Amino acid sequence: MMKEHRQCFSIFFFIYLVFCSSQFAISQRLVNFISGVPTLWINRPSIGSNFSRRILNYTPILLERNTGLQFLYGFSCNFYHTECFLGISLVLYNSTGETIYIEGGRLVWSANRDHPVQVNATLQLGQDGNLVLADSDGTLVWSTNTTGKSVSGFNLTDMGNLVLFDTTNRTVWQSFDHPTDCLLPGQNLVSGQKLTASVSADNSSQGLFSLTVLNGSWATYISSDPPQYYSTSDYPDSLYYSFDGQTLTALPYPPTSIAQYIQLGYDGHLRVYQLDNLENNMLGLNWKEVGDILTLSDCRYPMVCGRYSICANGGQCTCPVEVNFFKPFSERNPDLGCTELTPISCDSSQYHSLVELKDTAYFSFGFNYELNSSVFWLEGKKIEDCQRACLSNCSCKAAVYYPSFNLNLLRGDCLLLNEVFSLMDVGVGTVFLKVQNSPNAPVIFPRQKMPFKVIIGCTLIGIILILSVCSALSKKRSEKRKAGDFLDLEPILPGILTRFSYNELKIITQDFSRKLGKGGFGSVYEGTLSNGTKIAVKHLDGVGQVKESFLTEVKTVGGIHHINLVKLIGFCAEKSHRLLIYEYMVNGSLDRWITQENGLTWHKRQMVISDIAKGLAYLHEDCSHKIIHLDIKPQNILLDQNFNAKISDFGLSKLIEKDKSKVVTRMRGTPGYIAPEWLSSIITEKVDVYAFGIVLLEILCGRKNLDWSQTDEEDVHLLTVFTRKAEQEHLTDMVDRNEDMQLHREAVTEMMSLAAWCLQGDFSKRPSMSLVVKALEGLVTVETNLDYNFRNVPKVGAGNQPREAAISSKLPSVLSGPR
Ligand SMILES: *[C@@H]1O[C@H](CO)[C@@H](O)[C@H](O)[C@H]1NC(C)=O
Ligand SMILES: *[C@@H]1O[C@H](CO)[C@@H](O)[C@H](O)[C@H]1NC(C)=O
Ligand SMILES: *[C@@H]1O[C@H](CO)[C@@H](O)[C@H](O)[C@H]1NC(C)=O
Ligand SMILES: *[C@@H]1O[C@H](CO)[C@@H](O)[C@H](O)[C@H]1NC(C)=O
Ligand SMILES: *[C@@H]1O[C@H](CO)[C@@H](O)[C@H](O)[C@H]1NC(C)=O
């Protein structure tokens, strides 16, 4: 039966094709067949096939006659002919014997995406030069607005561009200037133009996501007032597009495969589709997704979890735990987001309060909101100012606050949102959601997002702490009340930290005569306690201003104990002196051992690597105070008499406010160990994982990350060498020349893949430190799909101009130099 239909179509179509002899069919020639009335086409779905589910029936207006894949301009309808679109489709035209068929392809441009038309809709090129689409009932649906421009006809170029030209053959209008959600090979997108995604896979109306070119970059956003951006382009040009600051050009032209196109998906992804071969096409065209240009982690897509929902672990969605205010939109389907139980009403703003979600981030944070509206973006604010700003304006639905990384930890940046999309559980930032309390209920104060068990645990610990602190305080108070020490009466945990006087330390260190080294935070001296125990005393110098909370922070650091962390045993805070007293590490820092001729054996190196990983995992995943080290490097890894490795200087970044005149950047760490995402403002513990990856590679290769003694400039950066050797599959060349290391060449090379995993440009692809520990123990295998081009950074934060100037790799480390 189908066959009969086809034959019937084919006769009709054959006649049509005869007249369509030139590559660019001229409209006038086709007119007579399709409707019998000049310059009028009626939507009478005639040909098509039943193989593909999407678009089954066509009323062709322009089509090349060549067999194969091609562009078709005309009407395409769904199977039941209830919705038809005038547009350009990539279709497969075929004829076998007498049978001619068009295999349903993809609609890559549409004139009426928001207003599907019915059968009998008309397209008319009027005497006035206007091309007008009207529905079957005569309603005007779309037109090219080319009245009076002497349009003499139109054609379809072999790039898939519909062009209206005038009597002098000049282009008057073209579909490439009015893109929908697709870009074809060679198609340009310039300032003022945008792609807008569809509502869903089944509804091609304009949805929430757009891609646009503005101010020298291209960017994607979700529509809102103002638009909320979720990616900007400082992506380097790729296989799939090029961008010169003004024009985004899609895909190479002519195409490198049979057919390709880029589509902004209804979920906000920017995907590249490709049809690789025309074999097996009897079951429909098989379009393959070959790339996702944005490469953001899943949680960074604004609607991945719906509104008000928190995305964790690459796609798990949950509503904020505040059950008084939020409930899932659908219990069955958590991806649909959450709704407020009571919508925010501006008439009773006295009942607004904020719910605090700690360690929660927002996708649009870090984009240059200053460029558009300073109302929404506040810099260098206290957290209270940020809350107040949101509470004082009814349009504000949420505030997002990130502490700043300029070492002034009391201030940060604040983003106000008029609309709340998905939130991210990534361990940085705080989100305050505005909620409406009912007039009868008491105003509920901001609560923290914490599991119940943790709350109970922390409360218990808190009570114990308070009790012990109180008893210590009363003892200390009666024992000694030294004058002249403005910070004196801060309570100290007994038995954990010893408080030294400056004079005591002068004696212990023999007047600071034996210097062990100098680091970013100050010089380190050797000392000996009266019982003979050796200690290391760090004099925090060059410190612009010591934080008021110095003692609090010292206590925090002093309370962290782990075999792989250098133990803080005491401190001194007297007048302007701030000193920290650590256990003494006989074998000094790791950097000495890395470059030593005949350095450590493979076994010892394995131990060192595992020690560092465990120490970091503890810092990152410890319950009460997660600490991001921010300056992992061999100089900060110390070795005791048995070559147990311990991490030093952790928590120091929270201890001190650096002299601001010296450090104008928010970036911290040491050049060479700085993870690429420092250029954006999303800093997570994964910066430590990156730095760990560098240290690991240094240990395996027995050389420094930056080695200026290399004669070949290409070999200066260890990472460059790593990328090259990986490409050549010659990783064994990199193994340290040490005899024992050479004996274990294979195991060493294998461990390089762990380093590569830690060094992934996309921080979300790096493993957590606990996963690294497991990998080292052989409990998990290293991810295999690794990108050895470590500079491939998906840009997530900062606009095209990173707010903090890039630190050049030659900048002396004012932050933390070598000891
Ligand atoms: C086309 O396919 C649909 C379902 O996929 C079926 O119901 C219909 O009968 C088919 N039509 C023809 C002409 O084969
Ligand atoms: C389209 O027009 C033709 C001729 O006027 C008519 O026979 C047919 O029923 C119409 N189809 C629809 C779906 O309105
Ligand atoms: C498609 O989406 C638009 C916008 O959300 C909506 O108005 C329209 O009803 C939808 N169409 C269908 C067929 O669901
Ligand atoms: C800036 O914000 C306004 C709304 O405040 C919005 O209409 C406009 O499109 C935005 N402009 C850009 C370039 O994002
Ligand atoms: C409140 O925010 C809106 C934008 O959402 C802004 O136009 C308005 O000026 C703000 N009002 C005040 C009082 O700041």
Residues near ligand 2 with C-beta < 6 Å?
119-120, 136
What pLDDT score was predicted for residue 629? 84
Lowest-confidence segment of 380-389, 431-440, 650-659 by average pLDDT: 650-659
Domains of the chain: 1-176 (2.90.10.10), 299-436 (no CATH), 498-583 (3.30.200.20), 591-816 (1.10.510.10)
To the query of whether residue 631 is one of the catalytic residues in this protein, the response is yes
What pLDDT score was predicted for residue 595? 82
How many whole angstroms separate alpha carbon 47 and alpha carbon 648?
74
- Provide the β-strand partners of residue 536: 526, 582
What pLDDT score was predicted for residue 195? 97
What pLDDT score was predicted for residue 67? 66
Burial (Cβ within 10 Å: 0-12, 13-18, ≥19) of residue 644: middle
pLDDT higher than threshold 70 for residue 87: yes
pLDDT digits (tens, 9 = 90+) for 6-20: 443 433 333 333 333
pLDDT digits (tens, 9 = 90+) for 56-76: 578 888 887 666 678 889 998
Mean pLDDT of 592-601: 84
Beta strands in 206-315 (DSSP E): 206-214, 217-222, 228-232, 241-243, 247-250, 259-264, 270-275, 288-292, 310-312
- Three-state DSSP at 164 gives strand
pLDDT higher than threshold 60 for residue 428: yes
What pLDDT score was predicted for residue 375? 57
Rank 304-308, 486-490, 736-740 by mean pLDDT and report only the highest: 304-308
- Ligand 2 centroid to Cα of residue 110, in Å, is 23
What pLDDT score was predicted for residue 801? 35
pLDDT higher than threshold 60 for residue 145: yes
pLDDT digits (tens, 9 = 90+) for 732-754: 999 998 889 999 999 999 999 99
How many whole angstroms separate alpha carbon 72 and alpha carbon 60?
7
Rank 220-224, 322-326, 517-521 by mean pLDDT and report only the highest: 220-224
pLDDT higher than threshold 50 for residue 490: no
Between 655 and 271, the more confident residue is: 271
Between 680 and 160, the more confident residue is: 160
**Which one of 631, 649, 688, 736 is the catalytic residue?**
631
How many whole angstroms separate alpha carbon 47 and alpha carbon 59?
7
pTM of the model: 0.56
pLDDT digits (tens, 9 = 90+) for 204-221: 999 999 999 987 788 899
What pLDDT score was predicted for residue 14? 37
- Measured from the alpha carbon of residue 204, the closest ligand is 3
Confidence of residue 615 (pLDDT cuts 50, 70, 90): very high
Confidence of residue 30 (pLDDT cuts 50, 70, 90): very low
Q: Atom 6, ligand 1: which residue's CA is nearest?
A: 50
Average pLDDT over all residues of the chain: 77
pLDDT higher than threshold 60 for residue 131: yes
Mean pLDDT of 313-332: 84
Mean pLDDT of 172-184: 96
Q: Which residues contact 427 (CB under 8 A, 6 or more apart)?
A: 359, 361, 626, 684, 685
Preceding amide of 38 cis, omega within 30 = no
pLDDT higher than threshold 90 for residue 670: no
Q: Atom 9, ligand 2: which residue's CA is nearest?
A: 120
- Ligand 2 centroid to Cα of residue 44, in Å, is 9
Residues near ligand 4 with C-beta < 6 Å?
214, 225-227, 372-373
- Whether 281 lines ligand 1, by a CB cut-off of 6 Å, is no
Please identify, by atom number, the ligand 1 atom nearest to the C-alpha of residue 53. 5
Lowest-confidence segment of 88-97, 154-163, 239-248, 563-572 by average pLDDT: 88-97
Mean pLDDT of 478-486: 33
Lowest-confidence segment of 7-16, 290-299, 787-796 by average pLDDT: 7-16
Using the Cα atoms of residue 601, residue 602, residue 606 and residue 608 in order, give the sign of their dihedral: positive
What pLDDT score was predicted for residue 660? 31
Rank 200-214, 369-383, 517-531, 802-816 by mean pLDDT and report only the highest: 200-214
Mean pLDDT of 139-157: 91
Share of the chain residues as helix, strand and coil, in percent rounded to the nearest 5:
25, 30, 50
pLDDT higher than threshold 80 for residue 576: no
Mean pLDDT of 87-96: 80
Confidence of residue 496 (pLDDT cuts 50, 70, 90): low
